[in-house]
């Protein structure tokens, strides 16, 4: 059973939860598209694993694709699950990211009693969708359109396989009536787009999402209609100095969202502040040899020393994401009170500078 706080003084979404976290990787074959998706699933683990998900010697180690670098995450590989029924959160990664790009967030949610699932999207695993040397403008346009077209079907495939029980056989059961989705960048667009056609989704957190009507050159031009046909409470967490997806686009998406909504802006932050290893990722992108229509990107990015720290950014993301999900999927009054209160003061007291957008 879940253990939910009953006193406002006990509720703190910014600190790690009471559950140790387990993680498993499963492989799911989509026979219709002939693709095998690697999926990461984080879940509340049994008490016998307490502390093992945090200790460097026992937490999970994995290899980052393409970079051949080892990383760790605050979860125990193949840990025994804590029996219970938990809300399900789908995480959708950015363009160029992968299912483990934001483990700081996925493990945090699971430590608070959520089952979290993420897959490597089609553009990562399907050879026909990969970038090719010497491709023409027409070929590039077709490839990007295929990336866009495959995103929502990826999410629906993952949901179907998790909910039919074949993909996830565990003592940690998922609650089909409490499903949320969180996505960053292209994954934020994916979360907003999937909500239009996937009525099982009941809460959204969009982290610096794509989808504005005027994307900058070289940015994936995903379109959004927001024809959801129902109220799906949505939280936008965005960056003040986002070079890839500027704040003007975030205001536009927020205004077009026809649902209960809230937006909080992280001051002195850029697009990589929603991922693991913020400082390293930001500087790596800033030094990439962007060419042609994307050559402007590194020129506009500021050094990481001019931004807030990764510690501050991750506290902001994990705390407000959890708070929104607790308020919507669990109906927790403590979370609802925090969100309608003085968020700027709440975060300032934790050393994080934000702007609570007031439409």
Please report, for the domain that includes residue 158, its CATH number.
3.40.50.1820
Asked whether residue 1 is assigned to any structural domain, the reply reads no
- What proportion of the chain, given as a percentage, has pLDDT over 70? 96
Using pLDDT thresholds of 50, 70 and 90, give the confidence band for residue 6: very low
Asked whether residue 269 is assigned to any structural domain, the reply reads yes
What does the pLDDT read at residue 358? 87
Asked whether residue 98 is assigned to any structural domain, the reply reads yes
pLDDT in tens, 194-227: 999 999 999 999 999 999 999 999 999 999 999 9
Closest CA to 27 of 154, 129, 167, 123: 167
Distance separating alpha carbons of residues 94 and 343, to the nearest angstrom = 27
Mean pLDDT of 290-299: 90
Closest CA to 326 of 102, 1, 5: 5
What does the pLDDT read at residue 5? 39
State which H helix or E strand residue 211 sits in. none
On average, the pLDDT of the chain sits at: 94
CA distances from 222 to 25, 48, 68, 182, 234 (A): 29, 45, 30, 17, 19
Asked whether residue 67 is assigned to any structural domain, the reply reads yes
Is 167's pLDDT higher than 80?
A: no
Mean pLDDT of 156-181: 90
What does the pLDDT read at residue 263? 98
What does the pLDDT read at residue 66? 66
CB-count burial class (<10 Å; 0-12, 13-18, 19+) for 163: middle
Is 64's pLDDT higher than 50?
A: yes
Residue 295 burial (CB count, 10 A)? 12
Asked whether residue 3 is assigned to any structural domain, the reply reads no
pLDDT in tens, 222-261: 999 999 999 999 999 999 999 999 999 999 999 999 999 9
pLDDT in tens, 305-339: 999 999 999 999 999 999 999 999 999 999 999 99
Mean pLDDT of 13-24: 98
Give the chain's domain count: 1
What does the pLDDT read at residue 181? 98
The pTM (predicted TM-score) of the whole model is 0.95
Asked whether residue 234 is assigned to any structural domain, the reply reads yes
Is 179's pLDDT higher than 80?
A: yes
What does the pLDDT read at residue 247? 98
What does the pLDDT read at residue 4? 44
Using pLDDT thresholds of 50, 70 and 90, give the confidence band for residue 65: confident
What does the pLDDT read at residue 40? 97
Choice between 7 and 289, residue whose per-residue pLDDT is larger: 289
Asked whether residue 2 is assigned to any structural domain, the reply reads no
Distance separating alpha carbons of residues 297 and 277, to the nearest angstrom = 20
What does the pLDDT read at residue 3? 42
Is 7's pLDDT higher than 50?
A: no
27: β partners = 38
Is 88's pLDDT higher than 60?
A: yes
What does the pLDDT read at residue 9? 55
What does the pLDDT read at residue 68? 72
CA distances from 178 to 45, 85, 203, 204 (A): 20, 10, 8, 12
- What proportion of the chain, given as a percentage, has pLDDT over 90? 89
What does the pLDDT read at residue 1? 41
Query: Residue 348 belongs to what domain range?
Result: 8-356
């Amino acid at each position: 059973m879940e253990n939910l706080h009953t006193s406002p003084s006990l509720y703190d979404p910014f600190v790690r939860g009471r559950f140790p976290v387990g993680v498993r990787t499963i492989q799911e074959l989509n026979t219709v598209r002939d693709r095998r998706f690697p999926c990461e699933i984080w879940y509340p683990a049994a008490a016998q694993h307490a502390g093992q998900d945090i200790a460097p010697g026992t937490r999970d180690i994995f290899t980052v694709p393409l970079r051949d670098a080892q990383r760790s995450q605050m979860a125990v590989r193949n840990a025994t699950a804590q029996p219970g029924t938990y809300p399900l959160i789908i995480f959708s990664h950015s363009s160029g990211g992968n299912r483990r790009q934001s483990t700081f967030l996925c493990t945090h949610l699971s430590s608070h009693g959520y089952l979290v699932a993420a897959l490597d999207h089609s553009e990562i695993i399907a050879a026909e969708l990969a970038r090719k040397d010497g491709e023409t403008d027409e070929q590039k346009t077709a490839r990007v359109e295929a990336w866009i077209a495959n995103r929502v079907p990826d999410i629906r495939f993952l949901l179907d396989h998790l909910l039919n029980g074949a993909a996830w056989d565990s003592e940690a059961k998922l609650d089909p009536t409490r499903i949320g989705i969180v996505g960053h960048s292209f994954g934020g667009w994916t979360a907003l787009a999937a909500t239009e056609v996937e009525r099982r989704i009941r809460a959204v957190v969009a982290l610096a999402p794509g989808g504005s009507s005027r994307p900058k050159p070289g940015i994936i031009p995903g379109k959004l209609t927001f024809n959801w046909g129902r109220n799906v409470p949505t939280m936008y967490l965005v960056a003040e100095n986002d070079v890839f997806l500027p704040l003007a686009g975030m205001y536009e998406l927020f205004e077009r969202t026809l649902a209960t909504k809230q937006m909080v802006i992280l001051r002195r932050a850029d697009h990589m502040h929603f991922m693991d290893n913020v400082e390293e990722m930001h500087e790596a992108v800033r030094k990439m040899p962007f060419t042609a229509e994307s050559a402007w990107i590194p020129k506009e990015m500021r050094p990481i020393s001019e931004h807030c720290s990764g510690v501050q950014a991750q506290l902001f993301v994990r705390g407000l994401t959890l708070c929104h999900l607790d308020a919507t999927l669990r109906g927790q009054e403590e979370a609802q009170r925090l969100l309608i209160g003085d968020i700027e003061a709440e975060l300032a007291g934790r050393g994080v500078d934000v702007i609570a957008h007031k439409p």
